[in-house]
Amino acid sequence: MHFSDLSNETYAALVGNKVRSSLTILGIVIGIGSVIAMISIGQGAQESVEDSIESIGSNLLMVYPGASRTTGMRGVSQGAGSAETLTTEDADAVSSSIQGISGVAPEVSTRVQIVANGNNTNTSVVGVTDTYADVRNITLDTGSFITASQTKGYAKVAVLGPTTRDDLFGENTDAIGQKIRMNGVIFTVIGILTEEGGTGFGSADDRILIPLSTEQQYITGSKAINTLYIKVAEDADMDTVQSNVTDVLMKTHNIADGGTADFTVYNQADIVETASSVTGTFTLLLGAVAGISLLVGGIGIMNMMLTTVTERTREIGLRKALGAKNKEITFQFLAEAVALTTIGGVIGIIFGWGTSTIIGAVSDLSTSVTLSPILLAFGVSATIGIIFGWYPARKASRLSPIEALRYE
Amino acid sequence: MISCANLVKTYNIGKDNELTVLHDVSFSVDTGEFVAIIGTSGSGKSTLMHILGALDRPTSGSYVLNNHDMLALSDDELADIRGRNIGFVFQSFNLLSRATVLRNVMLPLIYDNVVPVQERHARAEQALHAAGLPEDRWDHLSNQLSGGQMQRVAIARALVNNPSIIFADEPTGNLDSKTGEIVLDTFQKLNEEHGHTIILITHERYVAEHASRIIEIKDGHIVSDSQNATPRRVHMTS
Ligand SMILES: Nc1ncnc2c1ncn2[C@@H]1O[C@H](COP(=O)(O)OP(=O)(O)O)[C@@H](O)[C@H]1O
Ligand SMILES: [Mg+2]
């Protein structure tokens, strides 16, 4: 039997039962398509989490008040405001006594009701210093950033995030020079931040930056800061700087060696790692759900092949009478199963790819189609085709020609 | 060409319903003969044909076809012999209903590995001419044909690989008497003009009389075996 005969026979058999072939292919399409779409969503989530963490700034160390409770994310999510052990003096101590640092940016943040232009909004007001823009990779759309002298002089100036500007003054209006009121204090808008998009850590567009001293004086009423960002000059120095920071802060806080620190130092790698492992689990979970539908598709193939074998028993008998060997019957049925999974696989890849592109375009989820889930889905479907097609094919080939011919 | 001796076929050996269908069947057939095997329903004709056609194996006895000891061959070797040396015509035609006439006729050639692919079409046309199916039907789907035409397609399919012997099991059983005669006439022509060896199985004396030798079988025994000097002729022009 030539390969061309095998493919002709397969084609004729599949086209001869269009409806059933299409439904079986549909099962595989859904299985493979959902594997690819789900994994692309998971990987997209993973990448966007990693991106937004990286957008915090490269080579960044973060110091939070309070002792470390668990690792990673937990500290990040509840670090701010949970204790008042970190102050502006700590920031000064770090920047004056440690080598290898290119910038130190203390931050205090609290939610405040803001009134301007007859509009009301409630958002985060973040007290920062002039170094903040460099350390946190922040750029301005218009106007200027908070200067060192403004921080020193308790200036009542504010830099708005684009969303806050839109909320208070209307979309894309020029708000420079406008007045806003927070806690009864009037601030002048001096700059608007560039839109960052996304909802990741610290990249929100809806916030207001004011001088740290002003925030401590008029809004929080305390010397405490929520976070101390430290930008390390060289990648290679991260670990050294991290331990130096710990040592200096232990000393300024008068904590003896071996005592429990009342602050926690994280580096960016820790956070990326933790976040990635969380989204990795998420991807795996989505993949498992999709894998189940792939399995269901495979069982659909087996079901179709078994029905086909039963329905075509007489045909099998005839082919054997005409000289077909067992192997040739096996190949024929196997080829049908493999063809079904291959067609379903190709359409499924296109479908999954399309779905994930559409999801990425119309929703907030970002998606990322990579080669490995495509290979995985295709490999799995090919395996399913062979395994689930093999059993019915064997069954067909083992029929005795006369029993098969007699079959009604 | 065919030589069988003491063929015994027992079904369901060792079970309650054990049944011996063929008892000590011995005979031989020479190349170019047109033999009818006649017997009542259940006498064991089809069982015998299955064994002679290498579709089944006897419980005991010996069977030689074209110098092959058929009982010593493997299943794959028997499949090869069926594909290259044997043609079958069945009572119920057994065509692939969704395939065209030509595809049906060429079907044995895909398992044969002897006839080159580019010769298949010519072979099929030759066989269809020999079986007497008009050319304008060749591209029809086989389920669009009349019973008589279907049986001609089946005959063409049996001829296409130039077998040394053709087995026909009740080939007229599903046809009206007039179409049946056309089919019988075709077999006579194949035998007389093309020299094909034919074994025709029937329960009707009238049908058997178209052959030149008649073997009668009863309850699995051969009860008579005689030459038919004056085969019945079909008087028609088709
Ligand atoms: N596979 C089988 N298993 C059991 N009995 C069978 C089988 N095939 C045929 N028989 C029996 O063998 C006998 C002869 O059958 P068969 O050769 O088909 O007769 P015929 O073709 O002459 O009508 C019948 O009684 C039938 O029931
Ligand atoms: Mg019979």
Q: What's residue A199's pLDDT?
A: 52
In chain B, residues with a C-beta closer than 8 Å to the C-beta of A398 are none
Note whether A2 contacts B96, CB cutoff 8 Å: no
Domain containing residue A397: 3-51+274-406
In the reported structure, the alpha carbon of residue A339 is separated from the centroid of ligand 1 by a whole-number distance in angstroms of: 39
Q: How far is the CA of A19 from the CAs of A25, A300, A313, A337, B144, in angstroms?
A: 10, 14, 20, 15, 22
Would residue A182 count as lying in a domain? yes
Asked if A208 and A219 touch (Cβ cutoff 8 Å), the reply is no
Q: Has residue A69 got a pLDDT over 70? A: no
Residue at B22: amino acid letter:
L
pLDDT recorded at residue A233 = 87
What's the pLDDT tens digit per position in A13-23? 899 889 989 98
Task: Give the minimum alpha-carbon distance from A396 to chain B in angstroms, rounded to a whole number.
Answer: 15
Q: Is residue A162 part of a domain?
A: yes
Same domain, A110 and A141: yes
> Is the C-alpha dihedral spanning B11, B14, B16, B20 positive or negative?
positive
pLDDT of residue A202: 47
**Tell me, what's the pLDDT at B171?**
94
Per-residue pLDDT 10s for chain B (238 aa) are: 899 999 999 999 889 999 999 999 999 999 999 999 999 999 999 999 999 999 999 999 999 999 999 999 999 999 999 999 999 999 899 999 889 999 999 999 999 888 899 999 999 999 999 888 999 999 999 999 999 999 999 999 999 998 999 999 999 999 998 889 989 999 999 999 889 999 999 999 999 999 999 999 999 999 999 999 999 987 655 4
Whether this model's ipTM surpasses 0.90 comes out as yes
Going by C-alpha positions, the residue among B59, B28, B29, B31 that lies closest to residue B44 is: B59
Residue numbers in A near B100 (CB within 8 A): none
How many structural domains is chain A composed of?
Answer: 2
Structure tokens at A317: 């008998």
State the pLDDT at residue B236: 58
**Per-residue model confidence as pLDDT tens digits over A31-62:** 888 888 888 888 888 787 777 776 665 688 88
Q: Is the pLDDT higher at B46 or at A388?
A: B46
The per-residue pLDDT for B150 is: 94
Residue with the bigger pLDDT between A298 and A342: it is A342
Q: Verify whether the Cβ–Cβ distance A1 to B53 is below 8 Å.
A: no
CA of B200 to the centre of ligand 2 (A): 11
The reported pLDDT for the residue numbered A407 is 77
Q: Report pLDDT for A58.
A: 63
Q: Which residues of B touch A16 (CB under 8 A)?
A: 98
- Asked if residues A199 and A205 have their Cβ atoms less than 8 Å apart, the reply is no
Q: For B55, which of A5, A12, A321 is closest by C-beta distance?
A: A321
Shared-domain flag, residues A197 and A94: yes
By most ligand atoms within 8 Å of CB, the mutation choice from B11, B12, B18, B37 for ligand 1 is: B11
pLDDT at A299 over 70: yes
Q: For residue A48, how far is its CA from the centre of ligand 2 (angstroms)?
A: 74
**Position A358 in a domain:** yes
Which residue of chain B has the CA closest to A324?
B111
Domain assignment of residue A268, yes or no: no
* Nearest chain B residue (CA) to A6: B110
In terms of domains, do A124 and A252 share one? yes
Nearest CA to ligand 1 atom 5: B11
Share of chain A above pLDDT 70, in %: 92
Q: How many percent of chain A have pLDDT more than 90?
A: 24
Element (H or E) spanning B27, and its range?
strand B19-29
What are the pLDDT digits (tens) for A81-114? 456 788 888 889 988 888 889 899 999 999 899 9
User: Which residues fall inside 5 Å of ion ligand 2, going by CB?
Assistant: B 46
Same domain, A137 and A185: yes
> CB A74: neighbour CB atoms within 10 A?
12
pLDDT at A321: 94
Distance CA B62, CA B59 (A): 10
Query: Is residue A314 situated within a structural domain?
Result: yes
**Both A185 and A318 in a single domain?**
no
In this structure, are A236 and A359 located in the same domain?
Answer: no
Pairing of strands B60-65, B2-11: antiparallel
A318-338 tens-digit pLDDT: 999 999 999 999 999 889 888
Phi then psi dihedrals of residue B217, to 5 deg:
-125, 140
Span of A95-99, A197-201, A228-232, B225-229 with lowest mean pLDDT = A197-201
Tokens of A321: 């009478």
Instruction: Tell me whether residue A68 is in a domain.
Output: no
Question: In terms of residues, how long is chain B?
Answer: 238
Name every chain A residue with its beta carbon within 8 A of the beta carbon of B50.
402
Q: In CATH, what class is B2-227? A: alpha beta
The rounded distance, in Å, linking the Cα atoms of A261 and A255 is 7
| Residue A198 clears pLDDT 70, i.e. is over it | no
Q: Is B110 on the interface with A (CB under 8 A)?
A: yes
Same domain, A140 and A219: yes
Q: Residue A388's pLDDT band (boundaries 50, 70, 90)?
A: confident
Shortest CA gap A334–chain B (Å): 17
A312 and A251 inside one domain = no
The rounded Å distance from CA B39 to ligand 2 centre is 9
Rounded Cα gap, residues A314 and A13, in angstroms: 14
Q: A261, A291, A312: which is the final residue of a domain?
A: A261
Total residues found in chain A within this entry: 408
Do A356 and A402 reside in the same domain of the chain?
yes
Tokens of B2: 């065919």
Most B CBs within 10 A among A1, A3, A5, A322, hence the mutation to make, goes to A322
Point out the domain boundary residue: A261, A294, A310. Answer: A261
SS3 A267: strand
Q: DSSP readout, A148-167?
A: HHHHHTT--EEEE-HHHHHH
- Which atom of ligand 1 is the closest one to the Cα of B40? 22
C-alpha A44: how far from chain center? 5
Confidence of residue A371 (pLDDT cuts 50, 70, 90): confident
Does residue A71 carry a pLDDT above 50?
Answer: no
- Number of other residues whose CB lies within 10 A of the CB of residue A376: 17
- Please check whether residues A116 and A248 belong to one and the same domain: yes
**Cβ-nearest to A5 among B76, B79, B110:** B110
pLDDT for A273 beyond 80: no
Q: What's the pLDDT score for residue A72?
A: 44
- Whether residues A290 and A257 share a domain: the answer is no
Residues A378 and A251 placed together within one structural domain of the fold: no
A12/B112 CB distance under 8 A: no
Q: Take residue A51 and report the two structure tokens written for it.
A: 């991106």
Q: Is the pLDDT of residue A204 over 70?
A: no
Q: Is A64 inside any structural domain?
A: no
Which of the 8 DSSP states describes residue A224? B
